[in-house]
Structure 1
Amino acid sequence: MAERRGAPALPGLDSQTYARAHLAFESRSDQRRLIAEHLAGRLAARAGQSISVLSVGCGDGTLDVPLIQGLLGADGARSVRYVGVDPYETATTELARAMGALDDPALQVETHSTTWESAPVSGTFDVITFVHSMYYVPDVAAAVAKACSLLRPGGELVVLSGPRGAMNTLVDICAPPIDGHPQWFSDDVAAGIAEAAAPAHLEVAPVERLEALLALEPVTHDVLDFVVQARLTPEARELVLACLRSAAVPDPASGRFEVPHPVDVHRVVRLP
C-alpha cells in the first residue's frame, strides 16, 4: 500500500489480455469446479417440466453450457429457457455457438451483448446468476433490484463474489477504478442486497462459502496480473508475489503452496 500510494494508476486489462490471464488463473484454481458443483446441485433441486435461467456475466459459456446440458437431461422431459448477458460480443457469440451445438429442441437460447444496466431482458426467471460479475456494475443495489424484479414466485437470485481476503485486498490496492468506482466485493454485495431486498416478498438466505485455492507456483505474469486486475510493473509484481506467498498455505498432499481465495454465495429468494 505504501509503494502504491501516490503512484500513477496501473493500466487495466484489455479484453484480450483479460481472457488470456483469466484462462491462466483458472488453470491453477479449483474455484470453477466448486462453483459448477454448487450451481449444478442448486439447479437440479428445482422441480418442474420447464426452467428459465438468466446468467449475467455469462462469458463464453464455459461454466453455463455444462450446467444447461445437465438440466436438459437425456430424456428431453424438461424444457429450458436460457438468457445470457455479457458486454463482450466475442464471448456471447461463442456462448451461442456452444449452446447451439447441444442441438436440443427443448432449449431456447437468447443472448445480449451489453451491460446488465442496458440489457433488454423480458419475462421472469426461476434462477438468475451473477458469477463473479457483480464486481463491475455501477450500483450493486440497483443491479440486485433489477434482477429481483425478474424473479418469478419461488425463483432465486444467486450472486457469487469474492470476499476481501489477502488476494482481493490486492485488487483494492492495484486495480484501476471501473467507470469511476472500485470493484465491489462480498461485503458490498451483502450491503446492496440488504438495501434492495427489503420488500416483504423477498427473503435473503444465509451466505455460504466455497473454499477455493490457487496454486501459486510456478509463477507467471498472467496469473499475477489477473489476481490484481491490472498490468503490473516489475516492481509491483515482486511486491504482489511477496504478499501472496505470505498468505499461502502448503497442500498436505503435494507440498505445493496455495493461496486461499474463497467465494461467497449470496441468495435472494422471491417468496411464493
Structure 2
Amino acid sequence: MDELRSARRGQPALPPLAPDTYARGHAAFEALSDQRALIGRHLSARLAGRGAGPVSLLSVGCGDGSLDAPQAAALADVSPARPVRYVGVDPYEPSTAAFAAAMAALGRDNLTAEVHTATFAEAPVGGAFDVVTFVHSMYYVPDVAATLRAAHDLLLPRGELLVLSAPRGALNLLVDVLAPPVDEHRQWFSDDIAAGVAAAGATPEETVTLEGRLSLDGAGDEVLDFAVQARLTPELRPLVRAYLEAVSVACPTSGVLHVPHPVDVHCLRRAA
C-alpha cells in the first residue's frame, strides 16, 4: 500500500470506469466472489418473514436483476393471490433493460414489475414500499444522510430500509487510494453509512456482517480495475495484484487464495 501511495503521489486522478466497462468488470468480479449468494440468502430470509400479504419492494441500484429476480419470484410464489410490486432503479440503461427482461421472464401473474433508468434522486418512483434496498449502491450518492431520509420517507408503516455496504477493510483501502472522486466526493463505505444514520436522526437495528470471499484465481485486468473503481495503468496493476496477494488468505481445503470480501447490512425500520 505504501508503494501504491508513493506511485500516486502528485499524480492526476485515474480515469473512472465507463458504464459498460463497469458492468463487465462487475460481472467478472462477482463471478470470483461468493458474496452475492450470501446476500441473496440473507435477503430471502428477511423477506420470508413478511408473511403472505401484499408486498412492495424498491431496489435502488438494481443492476441487471440477477439478485432481485429470485427475490421477486420467491415473494410471488408464497401465494398466487398475493400482489407483489417490485421496482428497480439504476442509471445504466442496458442494466435496466436486463432487469425488465428478467422480471418478465418470471411469468408470475401476481407480480407487477417496473424499472427506471435514473439515479435515486431523479427516479419518478411513486407510492410507498414495505422494503427499500440499497445493495452496493450507497457508495455513489451525493449525501448519505439526505438519501437515507428520502428512502425512509418511502417506507410504509413497519417497513424496512436495508443498506448493504462494504466496510473500509483491506480490499477497499485500494478504492480510497486509487479511485477518482464521484461527483466531487469519495466513495462512501459502511462507517459513512453509520454516520449518515446518526446524522439523519434514525435508530438502526444491529448491523449484520456477511463474511464473503473474493478469489484471486483467474482475476484479470477487469477484476483489478473494478476492485479499485478506476482504469489502472500498466505500472499500477502489478502493485495492486501484489497488494491483494499480500492481504489474502489461503482456503484451508483448496489452497486457493482469496481476499476477505465482507458486506455490512444496515437496517432502519419505520414505526407502525
- Whether these two folds match at TM > 0.5 is yes
Moved more, 72-81 or 56-65: 72-81
> What is the aligned-residue identity percentage?
57
Post-superposition offset of 1:54: 0.4
Moved more, 65-74 or 244-253: 65-74
The one-letter code of the counterpart of 1:237 is R
Q: Distance in 2 between matches of 1:49 and 1:255?
A: 47
Structure 1 outlier segments of 4+, above 4 Å = none
Aligned position for 1:211:
211
Cα distance per residue 1:213-265 (max 9 Å; x no partner): 00012331111111001111111111111111111001001001110011000
Q: Aligned runs of 1:116-131 on 2, under 5 Å?
A: 116-131=120-135
Q: Aligned runs of 1:223-262 on 2, under 5 Å?
A: 223-262=223-262
Cα distance per residue 1:105-144 (max 9 Å; x no partner): 2111121111111112121111000000000101111110
Aligned position for 2:86:
82
2:189 is aligned with 1:185: yes
SS of corresponding position for 2:37: helix
Q: Distance in 2 between matches of 1:231 and 1:116?
A: 25
Aligned length: 268
> Which consecutive residues of structure 1, in runs of 5 or more, have no partner in the other structure?
none
SS of corresponding position for 2:8: coil
Q: Distance in 1 between matches of 2:105 and 2:158?
A: 31
Post-superposition offset of 1:97: 1.4
Aligned position for 1:150:
154
Aligned position for 2:113:
109
Aligned position for 1:6:
10
1:60 to 36, 45, 64: 64
- The alignment's C-alpha RMSD in Å is 1.1
SS of corresponding position for 1:117: coil
Moved more, 149-158 or 11-20: 11-20
CA contact (8 A) 2:52 2:79 kept: no
The one-letter code of the counterpart of 1:157 is L
Q: What's the TM-score, normalizing by structure 2?
A: 0.96
2:24 to 20, 33, 43: 20
The one-letter code of the counterpart of 2:137 is S
2:53 is aligned with 1:49: yes
Cα distance per residue 1:74-130 (max 9 Å; x no partner): 641321011111111221111111111222221111211111111121211110000
> Which consecutive residues of structure 2, in runs of 5 or more, have no partner in the other structure?
none
SS of corresponding position for 1:264: strand
CA contact (8 A) 1:154 1:269 kept: yes
